[in-house]
Structure 1
C-alpha cells in the first residue's frame, strides 16, 4: 500500500494528497480501497497496520510486489500460476500494439483459456497499468452475460490477464465465413446492445472506444461476449479518469467528431456511433469502406458526412429496414441525435422477438453446419 502511494505521489507531483488519491479511487469504483485510505489517514501512526496483500489477500514477496505494485491494490483478482498453462505452437489468437492474446490449456482446470500478456518482459509502467486497468474493467464487466469475464491474473514470469476461451471466435470471422440466418444476427445485435448498456451504466462509466465485429466474441452457443478493452476508458462525470489508455481507435468505426478533433475526450456517443457501423457489418457481412485507398480518405469522407454503403443493405425485409433506421440514427453526424444504448436494446429486442426460440435454435444448427463445411474447404 505504501509503495503504491509513493509511486502515485511521484507521478502526481505537488497535487498529491491522500484526499485526492481517495477521490481518484472512488472515481474508479474502488471504494473498498478508498475506505482503507481513509482508515490509514486517521491511524495514530499515519500508516496502516494491515500487512500488504496480493490480489486474493495472500502475502506477496517484496520482489513481486516491487515489479507489480498496482496488482497489490485489488484483492478480488484470483492469482493464476503461469506455469500451469500450456501454450500450443499455434497459440496466438490476436496481437496488438503492446500485448498478444493466446490460447492456452490450464492443466488444473482441464480446459482452454485465453491469455492476454505483454509482448515483452521488459515492462514499462504504462504498459503494465494498461493491462491491469483492462483487468479491472473485465472484473466489473463479468457481471454482465454479454461482456467477456476475467478468470484471473498471472504475475510471473509475465503479467497477464486470463479469460475464458471463446470456441466460436469473433463475430467478424463468422460473418466473413457464414451467411448467418437473420434470427441469430438479431439476437447477437441485441446482446451487443445489452452489454454496452451495462458498461455505460457503471459508475464511473466504461467507454469501450473500439467497438467493432472483431471485438465481439462468441461462445459455444453463439452468445455475445464483448471483448478487448485495451482502448477503453473509465469516465467519471465529464472527465476521463484513465489517462494511460493509448490514443487511436479503428478508423472505420470512429465518429466524425473524433476525426475533426483528435484531442476530444470520448463519451458514450462515440460507442453508439461505432455500434451503428457494427450494425452495418451485421446486415451486409462486408468491411466498411473496403474500397478506400487509405485512412486519410476515410477521415475526410466521414467528416463530410459519408457513411458505409447503404446500397448493400437489403430492401425487401421489414426487420432489416427497422435495423437500418436504427443504424443510421446511431451514426448521425450530430452526436446529440444518437440514441443511448438502452434505447437501442429496446428497439432491437422488438426485432429479435419476431423470431421464436425454435427459429433461433435452427439458425444455430445451420451456422454450425456451414462452419463445419467452410473448415473442410
Structure 2
C-alpha cells in the first residue's frame, strides 16, 4: 500500500484497494448525545439495516466545507479505515451529505478510560492487573499505528480518546484526524477553554515551544503516553492545581512534570520503579531521548505475565459489579435489587400506590439509555405495565 502526501493535511490514497464505505444518514436512527470533542459532536445511534449500535462523530460546522476540504477529510478517513487492529476503534464508514458529515465507528459500551479512572463513585476500586493491562493495550495500539507505512501519528492521545469495550479492553479512537480538528476549529465554534486545557495536559513541550523547527513524529505520542501512565497509576488528573492552560504550558517548559513520589504513586504499585522509569523517560523534554513504543512493550510484557489470567478476570469483574451497583439517587434501586421482585405478585400488597411507584422507578432504571441494562425478558406480572403507567403517570 502506497500512501503519499498530496498537500499538507491531505493524503493521496489512489493506490488503496478498497473504497471507504459511504453510509446514508437515513440509515442512522435513534440518536443520543454522548459528548462534544475536538472535532465535533459524538452520538450513539442505531444502524437500521445492520441492527446494531454505532457511534457517529460529526463535524459541526458554521460554514460549508469546500470540495477540496471535503475530499481531504474523506482521504483522511480512508486511511483510518485501513487501520485494523484489536486495540484500534473500527471505522465502518462515513456519512458524506451536504448538511451531515461524520465518521461512523463501532460503539464502546464502557465509555472512556477517563471515566474509569475519575468516576470514583462508580468505580471505587480499579485493581492493578486491570490498570497494567490497560497500559499494555494502549502501547500495543499506538505501536501498531507507528508501524504502519508511513507511520500514523495519533497526535491527540489522552484518556478521553481511549475507549473501553464490554470487557474493558482498550480501543484507541480519534487518531490521525488532524484535518478534521483543524476544520472544526476554523469553521466551527472553536475549542472551549476546558477542552483546550484537557489537551494541553498531554501535549509535549515541543508542540507549543516558540520557533520550533522539529516536524511532528512518533515521539510526541510517547510523551502523551507517559502522562497517561501517571494518570492510570495515580487515578488523579495531571497538573490538577493549574488554573488555566497557559500555566500548564509554562510549567512544562520549565521542566515541571507530575509528582512521582509516594503521595501520588503508592508503594504497592507492581514493578513501581520500572514503571516510573518508563514514565520519566517518556516525558523527557528531548524527544530523541524518549523510548519507542516497541521498547515500552518489552518492559511491560513481563509485568503483565506476573498476573494469572484469573487475577485480570477478577479485576474486570470487580469494575463490572461496581458499575452495576452504582448509586442511582434517592428512591432508585439497583438491578440487583430489582431482580428480587421478579418472583413476587402485585396481589400480595394491600394498596396499589407504593407498588406502582416502586415499579415505575425500577423500570425507568432498567430502560434508561445511559445505563444500558435491559433484562432478557420481563416477568409475567409486568404485562400490565402500560396500563399502570397510563393511570398514574
Classify the TM-score, shorter chain: 0.7 to 0.9
Q: How does 1:1-377 map to 2 (within 5 A)?
A: 24=5, 28=11, 30=13, 32=15, 75-88=18-31, 91-96=32-37, 98-120=39-61, 122-125=63-66, 128=70, 131-141=73-83, 143-156=84-97, 157-177=99-119, 178=123, 179-229=125-175, 231-232=177-178, 250-261=199-210, 264=213, 265-311=215-261, 312-374=264-326, 376-377=328-329
Task: Give per-residue Cα distances to partners, 1:5-55, cap 9 Å, x unaligned.
Answer: xxxxxxxxxxxxxxxxx954699473526xxxxxxxxxxxxxxxxxxxxxx
Which segment drifts farther, 316-325 or 242-251?
242-251
Per-residue deviation at 1:75?
4.7
1:76, distance to aligned residue in structure 2 (A): 2.0
User: Do the aligned residues in 1 keep the contact of 2:58 with 2:103 (CA within 8 Å)?
Assistant: yes
Superposed CA offset, 1:245-285 (max 9, x none): 97988111111222323755321111100000000110011
Q: How many residues align?
A: 306
Whole-Å Cα distance in 1 between the matches of residues 216 and 173 of structure 2? 18
Do the aligned partners of residues 149 and 375 (structure 1) sit closer, same or farther apart at CA in structure 2, a change above 3 Å counting?
A: farther
Give the Cα separation in 1 of the matches to 2:174 and 2:322. Answer: 27
Q: Give the distance between the partners of 1:304 and 1:353, measured in 2 at CA.
A: 38
Secondary structure at the aligned position of 1:258 is classed as helix
- Change in Cα spacing, 1:310 to 1:327, as seen in structure 2 (3 Å) is same
In 1, distance between residues paired with 2:71 and 2:64?
10
Provide TM-score, normalisation by structure 2.
0.71
Q: Residues of 2 paired with 1:352 and 1:304: CA distance?
A: 34
In 2, Cα distance between equivalents of 1:361 and 1:345: 21
Which residues of structure 1 form unaligned runs of 5+?
1-21, 34-73, 234-241
Residue 296 of structure 1 aligns to a residue whose secondary structure is helix
| TM-score normalised by L of structure 1 | 0.74
The alignment partner of 1:374 has SS state of: coil
